[in-house]
Amino acid sequence: MPKKAAEQNKKNSTLLIVESPAKAKTIERYLGKGYSVAASIGHLIDLPKSRMAIDIDKDFEPEYITVRGKAKILKELSQKASKVDHILLASDNDREGEAISFHLKSFLEKKNTKAKIERIIFNEITPAAIREAILKPLEIDSGKVNAQKARRVLDRIVGYRLSPLLWKKVKNGLSAGRVQSVALRLICEREKEVEDFTPEEYWTLEAELKKDKHHFAAQLVQYSGAKPVLPDSKSVELLKEKLIGKDFIVREIKKAEKKSQPRAPYTTSKLQQDSANRLGFTSRKTMQIAQQLYEGINIGSGRVGLITYMRTDSTRISIQALTEVRQFIGENYPDDLPANPINYSPAKRSQDAHEAIRPTYSSYTPDYVKEYLTKDQLRLYTLIWERFISSQMKNSVSETTTADIECGEALFRASMTRVKEKGYQKVLKILASKEKSEKIPELKQGDSLVLSEYKSEQHFTQGPSRFTDASIVKMLEEKEIGRPSTYAPIISLLLDRHYVSRKNRQLVPTQLGKIIYELLVNSFNDILDVNFTAEMERKLDDVEINNENWVGMIQDFYKPFNKKVEHVMETLESIKGALDEKTEYVCENCGKPMVKKLGRFGYFLACSGFPECKNTKSVPLAECPRPGCDGMIVARKKQGGKSKEFYGCTNYPECDFISHSKPTSKKCPVCGYFMVEKYDKARGTYYSCSNHECKNSMEAEEE
């Protein structure tokens, strides 16, 4: 190529840098000649992991370094930057994304990059959104950068001051985080409520009645003008005796119409809640799949970003999206298109930086894209699509008919609901209501009914429920703890640190979690206070909009916190070794007993003769069922990556027995293999034989 042509080509060239390779691949096909797209793959410059790296005496200035393993990426980006005359930083439009752009710009400028460096932001990965963003470049938002810096410094100070305290007083390798510890507090306090609750017995009474050939049920709702009190079966029988010979007469028929409004498009927390409740997804899984849908899926004609940015607290949608969805509804559900668009008020603390989570194209129905998506991608996309389309449709209208039926001093009630106008519910499948209404015959005041039989049922009062992914996210949002981007990581960290375990989708604090909670609450109650944490989040928001100086904010926090840490370090009694459990296993090296310990990657067996004997091994979960094998079944993971845990024999490779379900100490009474723990929605937790040829299973409570 002639020199002049090469110079001209460089002059017109632009490098666009995003965070992920998948996003880069999608965007690249939208841009014409003169554009190249590269990925930073997250943060390239950050605090080191090996030390605090905060200069307390110099306004808490952080010491940034190249993230380990990212030097090669930085070098490649620098080389690409030297060959263009324009650089567009297109990391995510949030605090973390702004910090990534800031650090990239600073790095490239230090490398004497001659190219003009600008910031662009977009909420969806579509050709129109990308082109519009390129036409409206911005400066780096210093408020967002400072808010991210303040949050990073604050969390680093708390983590690097509390963790050594836990190492000294509880056990090595523990860690404590500012927001995660508050979430742990919520889970532990809920667990205490669950444990302290004493259920009380009560009974309900139902009358199965008949009019002509129609049978229906009516519930006892009053006796002698008051709510019935039936604490036991004896009280039920006494009441039934009092009603002997009394006629069932319809006293009143009431009909009430109810309008049900559609719900707003998804925010991050609401998506995680519905995904957990409707699909059984963890918060982490929800965000991973949403990220895939956002960054782009190949739908035959090319890669397309199917949803807007998935970390948001806003219910706002763009004018363009609103126009498109109303056009879609008008063409497909013309009778259910409101005369005017529906507006949804933002939450009290919404930053409104992004739109709500919605499909990028209303016309991309779940049926249209299903052949290109995995099962889980399709289910989550369907959830998002249904919620968005329905949000701009008419109300549904239902009519409830209630019949009050007298029998002596008792009042029984039967009700039936029917949908008169489906409205927005026409598009709902996954999100459709699962409630079913019993039918009652046509009744009028004064009708005499025939009693077929009484049905009584024993109940127990229900105490507070343990948190699930859905309910803890809801609580964090209500208490103003964390941000949309942090809900899933908070839960994951608590699980990864073994402070919390997940049982039947419920979050249950472990013994270690309870110990950490007690220690932190007793010593740092103010820092773990929900209101204090929410106030810190509000201050970070103020830093972002330049209403708060981040250095002053950290200074106000640090002095009393540091003083408290030093006091607790000196005065708190050590409980090291309290978590170690004695076992029946003996060390094959020295003959001393093995103890069960908790390490960074879970429980393991260690010789009690440490440090003289450093023997360790996995915790045996069951005896290997293979004939002639004397091995034990232990938890394993494939080397490299984040592979799923499985269970194999200690005599591998001689014995290749594998189970993908967790073994228990119970043996199958039919074939002698060990039983594994399984769970499904219908049965809950149950035990199933690990022998594929044996179909035996039993309920978890059976011994």
Provide the number of structural domains found in the chain: 6
Same domain, 257 and 402: yes
Same domain, 400 and 257: yes
> Active-site residue 309, yes or no?
yes
Q: Is residue 223 part of a domain?
A: yes
Paired tokens of 419: 């949908």
Residue 458: enclosing H or E segment and its boundaries? strand 448-460
Among 536, 571, 606, give the residue marking a domain's end: 571
Q: Is residue 178 part of a domain?
A: yes
* β-strands 86-89, 116-119 pairing: parallel
- Tell me the whole-structure pTM to 2 decimals: 0.83
- Given a contact cutoff of 8 angstroms between Cβ atoms, the answer to whether 654 and 646 are in contact is no
End-to-end CA distance of the chain: 81
* Distance (Å, whole) CA 623 – CA 651: 11
* DSSP 8-state code for residue 278: I
Among 94, 120, 140, give the residue marking a domain's end: 140
Q: Is residue 247 part of a domain?
A: yes
Nearest to 414 by CA among 247, 216, 249: 216
Sheet (strand 646-649) strand order: 622-623, 632-636, 646-649, 658-659
Q: Is residue 576 part of a domain?
A: no
Same domain, 535 and 639: no
Same domain, 333 and 428: no
Among 460, 487, 511, give the residue marking a domain's end: 460
Same domain, 293 and 376: yes
Same domain, 438 and 541: no
Same domain, 385 and 423: no
Q: Residue type at 249?
A: I
Paired tokens of 49: 């992991």
- Given a contact cutoff of 8 angstroms between Cβ atoms, the answer to whether 21 and 39 are in contact is yes
What's the alpha-carbon Rg for the chain, to the nearest Å? 31
Same domain, 438 and 501: no
Listing DSSP states for 175-218 in one string gives: ---HHHHHHHHHHHHHHHHHHH----EEEEEEEEEEETTEEEEE
Residues in Cβ contact with 596 at an 8 Å cutoff, skipping those fewer than 6 apart? 580, 581, 582, 583, 603, 604, 605, 619
Q: Residue type at 509?
A: P
- Is the bond into 231 cis (omega within 30 degrees of 0)? no
* Distance (Å, whole) CA 329 – CA 432: 18
Q: What is the CATH number of the domain that holds 39?
A: 3.40.50.140
* β-strands 248-260, 396-407 pairing: antiparallel
Same domain, 548 and 606: no
* Distance (Å, whole) CA 252 – CA 411: 11
Residue 274: enclosing H or E segment and its boundaries? helix 268-274
Q: Is residue 15 part of a domain?
A: yes
Average pLDDT along the chain, 703 residues, taken 10 residues at a time: 44 85 91 92 93 95 95 94 94 93 96 92 92 95 96 95 91 88 96 95 97 94 96 97 96 96 96 95 95 93 92 92 96 96 79 84 96 96 98 96 97 95 96 85 95 96 95 94 91 93 91 92 91 92 94 94 93 83 89 85 84 88 84 74 73 86 83 82 75 80 39
Q: What is the CATH number of the domain that holds 365?
A: 1.10.290.10
Same domain, 410 and 421: yes
Same domain, 440 and 292: no
Same domain, 364 and 274: yes
- C-alpha dist (Å) from residue 131 to 16, 27, 136, 323: 12, 10, 9, 19
Please identify which of the residues 35, 64, 223, 309 carries the catalytic annotation: 309
Q: What is the CATH number of the domain that holds 518?
A: 1.10.460.10
Q: Is residue 655 part of a domain?
A: yes
- Given a contact cutoff of 8 angstroms between Cβ atoms, the answer to whether 43 and 100 are in contact is yes
Phi-psi region of 654 (alpha: psi -120 to 50; beta: other; left: phi over 0): alpha
**What is the extent of the structural domain holding 594?**
581-617
Give residue 7's pLDDT.
45
Q: Is residue 176 part of a domain?
A: yes
